Amino acid sequence: MGNNTTVPYFLLLGFSQDWHLQLLHFFLFFILYLATATANLLVISVVAFDHQLRSPMYFFLVNLAVLDLGIVSVIVPKSMINSLMDTRHISYFGCVAQLFLFTSFEASDISLLTVMAYDRYVAICNPLHYEMVMNWKACTRIVILVWVTSLIYGMLHTTGTFSIPFCCNVINQLFCEIPQLLKLSCSGFNLTEVVFLVASVAAAIGCFIFITVSYTMIFKAVLRIPSVKGRQKTFSTCLPHLIVFSMLLVTVCLAYLRPPSNTPTYLDFTLTALYSLLPPLFNPIIYSIRNKSIKSVLSKLWRF
């Protein structure tokens, strides 16, 4: 495209040049999107349906479901449309909006998972102070803070990324991703944005350390429970949380810190799926649907 400072549109990476493989991509993403949307909408519906599920934990679960639904809605439908229509185009402002929303939702997701770990820590390790610490006023302020700071975070990242001049419009990814966009810069990496990326990864690692410490304290408290069944129940709840968040954090760090290659690789696709598409599907299953209270409400709804 020459040394242009602006581009009218971007070209996203196509799944394949073969039409049949593009149709396969469409149906696979359709199934993934349908499963993710169904799982998260079920969580939202169940909590809204049953007035007994009004504790802070379920309040956080609803917000997490909204965020996960937002993440896949930003990425998957556009990729499906491109495969079905045999095109790779995304407009400049469409790419800006996609990057802003995806970055904001991902930041909110990580922040909320950190808050939920703290909520579990207080509930298990300091049950007598739980209602005082995690009251409705405090929980509402926490969620508002998570949403506002994440939107500001997404705005800063988007502004920093699109402030650079682009010499190419071919993005080697299924959606507008920061590392791939920075690779298109005429002047190399934007130092400010790279520093911001490193700081973001450092903050994510800080969240991981906080969550790990919280669950370590939870495990210590659980080991003092005399009931074997009680210990197994807590471990079966906490360990999947830690595994999913670890997978999310590791793949985000690898995707954003590793030098982007000039040609797309299977590793790029794998990392993208692991940190952007699979957590929104696993979160409602691990955090919500395995919960006995939610199972009970689901069975009631099923009878209707």
- pLDDT, tens digit (0-9, with 9 covering 90-100), for 155-193: 988 988 888 888 888 888 888 988 888 888 876 666 677
Neighbouring CB atoms inside 10 A of 282's CB total: 17
2 pLDDT tier (thresholds 50, 70, 90) = very low
Long-range contacts: 20-28, Cβ < 8 Å, 24+?
Answer: 22/83, 22/84, 22/86, 23/83, 23/84, 25/79, 25/83, 26/80, 26/83, 26/84
Residue 58 identity: Y
For the chain, the 3-state helix, strand and coil shares in percent, each to the nearest 5, are: 75, 5, 20
Q: Bridge-partner residues for 89, per DSSP?
A: 11
- Is pLDDT of 304 > 60? no
Residues paired with 10 in a beta bridge: 90
The pTM is what?
0.87
220 vs 41, which has greater pLDDT? 41
Whether 1 is covered by a domain: the verdict is no
**d(Cα 247, Cα 115) in Å, to the nearest integer?**
18
Q: Within a domain: residue 303? A: no
Q: At what angle do helices 92-125 and 191-223 cross, to 10 degrees?
A: 20
Residue with tokens 């939610």: 294
Please indicate, yes or no, if residue 294 is contained in any of the structural domains.
no
Check residue 127 and give its pLDDT.
84
Q: 215 in a domain, yes or no?
A: yes
Cα–Cα distance for residue pair 182/188, rounded to 1 Å: 8
d(CA 97, CA 126): 42
**In this predicted model, which residue has the larger pLDDT, 30 or 178?**
30
- Report the pLDDT value the prediction gives residue 247, as an integer from 0 to 100: 77
Tell whether 302 is covered by a domain. no
Q: How confident is the model at residue 108 (pLDDT cuts 50, 70, 90)?
A: very high
Q: Is the pLDDT assigned to residue 231 strictly greater than 70?
A: no
At 95 the pLDDT is: 93
pLDDT band (50, 70, 90) for residue 101: very high
Residues forming a β-bridge with 185: 166
Q: Tell me which range, 48-62, 110-124, 224-238, is most confidently predicted by mean pLDDT.
A: 110-124
Which pLDDT does position 270 carry in this prediction? 75
Pairing relation of β-strands 89-91 and 9-12?
antiparallel
151 in a domain, yes or no? yes
- Residue 59: alpha-carbon gap to chain centroid: 18
Q: Tell me phi and psi for residue 41, to 5 degrees.
A: -70, -30
Mean pLDDT of 136-152: 93
Any idea what DSSP says for residue 129?
G
Q: Is 187 inside any structural domain? A: yes
- The two structure tokens encoding residue 122: 């207080």
Q: At 36, is the secondary structure helix, strand, or coil?
A: helix
List the CATH number of the domain containing 35: 1.20.1070.10
Is a pLDDT exceeding 80 seen at residue 265? no
pLDDT for residue 4 = 45
Higher pLDDT, 31 or 128: 31
67 CB neighbour count, 10 Å cutoff = 25
Number of structural domains (the chain) is 1
What pLDDT was estimated at residue 143?
A: 95
Please say if the pLDDT value at position 52 is more than 80.
Answer: no
Please give the residue range of the domain that contains residue 48: 9-289
Residue 3, domain member (yes or no): no
